[in-house]
Amino acid sequence: MSLTLATGEIVGLIGPNGSGKTTLVNVLTGQVKPISGRVTLDGADLTGLAPRAIALHGVARSFQIVRLFNNLTVRENVETAALTHGAGRRAAKAKADALLAQYGLTASAHDLAGELNYGAKRRVEIARALAADPRFLLLDEPAAGMNEDESEALLRLLATLPAERGLGLLIIDHDMRLIMRLCHRLHVLASGRTIAEGDVESVRNEPVVIEAYLGAPAEAGDA
pLDDT top residue among 79 and 217: 79
Residue 45 confidence class, pLDDT cut points 50, 70, 90: very high
| pLDDT score of 113 | 93
Q: Is a pLDDT exceeding 70 seen at residue 216?
A: no
Tell me the whole-structure pTM to 2 decimals.
Answer: 0.86
- Residue-level pLDDT at 118: 83
What are the CB-based long-range contacts (under 8 Å, 24+) for 50-56? 54/28, 54/29, 54/30, 55/29, 55/85, 55/132, 55/134, 56/85
Domain with CATH 3.40.50.300 in the chain: 1-58+134-223
Residue 213 has what pLDDT? 66
Q: Alpha-carbon distance 36 to 176, whole Å? A: 31
Q: Look at residue 44 and tell me whether its pLDDT is greater than 60.
A: yes
Which pLDDT score is estimated for 153? 87
**Tens digit of pLDDT for each residue in 91-113?**
999 999 999 998 889 999 999 99
Instruction: Give me the CATH code for the 1-58+134-223 domain, please.
Output: 3.40.50.300
